[in-house]
Amino acid sequence: MHSKAKRWALIIIAVLGAIILFQIIRKVTRAGEKLSETVYDVKAVQAVKTDIQEAIFIRGIAEGNPQIKVYSQVPGKFERNNVSEGSFVNKDDTIIYINRDIIGMDYQLANVMAPAAGIVTKIYVTDKGAFVTPQYPVAEIANPDKIKVVLSTGEEDMLKVKTGQIAEISAAYGEKKVLKGKVSSVTPFIDKDTMAGTIIVKADNPERQIKPGMSVNVAIYGQRRQGIMLPENAVLLGESRSYVYINDNGRAKMADVKTGYIEGDNIEITEGINIGDAVITEGNFKLNEGNLLKIKE
């Protein structure tokens, strides 16, 4: 009996020893795993100076320059049109006829003449017998050889625009037609009701590529300058700051930045990084300060 008890005691001790040894090995293995630091695969670009030309983009409607409303000099009733909308007229061509229709008087039809050559963009009276007065326009004529666009925009854009800046006017739809022009005028104030101001852009249109009444996109360009532009996804947003991660000798280094002009998918960095810094552009959202980096090609 004594020998049997001794044998069981040895078995129990052996089992306990095996369990303890297993626990020690597992802890050592886990410690080794913790010592194996995670490496983050990321992509980066080098910060370099590049040409920046700020542009403001606004949509508007092309008008002739000038675009004139036509008024009758006498009151009467609309009799008939002499031209249709879209017709080209010369100065002093008749646009519409008016019947003065005064009882007891025999008047010939009064003709309303074009004050200048151009395209008839609008005829306001079309129903025979409609009353016409000198206070309301009967038609509108536009010079198609020169174009102007009257733009309304907010204070932020207004502060960036000055008379004489280069502009481009392009058709909003259909074939891409572009006219080179300039800012003709900028209102010096913001309307308190609309919180907007007015910019007028003018351009020559000798080939009549842009027609009065067309929807157009207007790009107004500022002065060229040098600055750092990065892919917009390089910049991360915190609660009250913007920041990027830089590759600092294989480690992630956080840098607060200030941003400026945005063009397409790129954003200007005005403060916070230096020329030559390798800025993380992909994989940055999962990083923390000091993480080990592997830069992918």
pLDDT value at position 11? 72
Residue 223 tokens, joined = 């002065």
pLDDT value at position 161? 92
DSSP β-bridge partners for residue 149? 62, 201
Domain map (residue ranges) of the chain: 39-55+226-295, 69-142, 144-224
For residue range 81-134, list pLDDT tens digits in order. 999 998 999 999 999 999 887 665 556 788 999 999 999 999 999 899 899 999
- d(Cα 287, Cα 254) in Å, to the nearest integer? 9
Which residues lie below 8 Å from residue 37, measured CB to CB, with a gap of 6+? Answer: 292
- d(Cα 172, Cα 150) in Å, to the nearest integer? 15
Mean pLDDT across 44-68: 93
Host H or E run for residue 107: none
* 144 in Cβ contact with 64 (< 8 Å): yes
- d(Cα 164, Cα 285) in Å, to the nearest integer? 44
Host H or E run for residue 254: strand 251-263
DSSP string, 79-90: EEESS-TT-EE-
Host H or E run for residue 243: strand 242-248
At the topology level of CATH, where does 144-224 sit? Elongation Factor Tu (Ef-tu); domain 3 (2.40.30)
Q: Count CA within 13 A, CB hemisphere, residue 139.
A: 33
Which has the higher per-residue pLDDT, 184 or 173?
184
- d(Cα 25, Cα 151) in Å, to the nearest integer? 76
Q: Locate tokens 């960095």: which residue?
A: 269
* Strand bridging mode 196-204 / 178-186: antiparallel
Mean pLDDT across 170-184: 90
pLDDT value at position 239? 82
Mean pLDDT across 148-154: 94
Second CATH level (architecture) for the domain 39-55+226-295: Beta Barrel (2.40)
Which has the higher per-residue pLDDT, 66 or 191?
66
Residue type for 54, please?
A: E
CATH number 2.40.50.100 given to 69-142: yes
pTM: 0.68
* 116 in Cβ contact with 37 (< 8 Å): no
For residue range 4-45, list pLDDT tens digits in order. 666 666 677 776 777 777 777 777 666 555 456 899 999 999
In eight-state DSSP terms, residue 191 is B
| Closest of 122, 222, 204 to residue 162, by C-alpha | 222
Which has the higher per-residue pLDDT, 2 or 71?
71
- d(Cα 23, Cα 15) in Å, to the nearest integer? 12
Mean pLDDT across 245-267: 93
pLDDT value at position 4? 66
For residue range 185-216, list pLDDT tens digits in order. 999 888 888 889 999 999 999 999 999 999 99
- d(Cα 75, Cα 131) in Å, to the nearest integer? 8
